[in-house]
Amino acid sequence: MLQSLSALEQQRSLLAAKLSQLTDLRPGSVTGIVRRCGKPTCHCAQPDDPGHGPTLRLTYKTRGKTISEALPTPAAVRKAEREIAEFRKFQELNRSFLEVNEKICRLRPVEEASLSPQGKKRLTPSSGKSRAK
């Protein structure tokens, strides 16, 4: 279905408004980590023991490095999950915004610029050799 240019521009404005309404956001995911403490007398050192945890952590990448932050309380976990959900909304809105902009760019007519007589002159190609001084 072919959409009109004005309908696409209206859709883009709506998406821009939705983008501006986003709240705190961050990339990443909440993961549960089960670990062993390393003490030889601890229960986690025994075979078939599941270890300590799971402890919940926020994991994300920054400048190619994976960062993992502890989420010590249930409130911190809920906050991180809200921010991650908002980031996912941002990604979807951004994807839609780009798709609409691509359609607008394809539909928008090319504007012919009127060239002055000076601008109409063709440039002569250089011979590629520099003059000797």
Per-residue pLDDT of the chain (133 residues; tens, 9 = 90+): 567 889 999 999 999 999 999 999 999 999 988 888 888 888 888 888 888 878 899 999 999 999 999 999 999 999 999 999 999 999 999 999 999 999 999 988 887 766 666 656 666 666 666 666 6
Domain boundaries, the chain: 5-107
Say how far apart CA 40 and CA 55 lie, in whole Å. 21
The answer to whether the beta carbons of residues 35 and 43 sit under 8 Å apart is no
State both tokens at 108. 């928008």
pTM of the model: 0.70
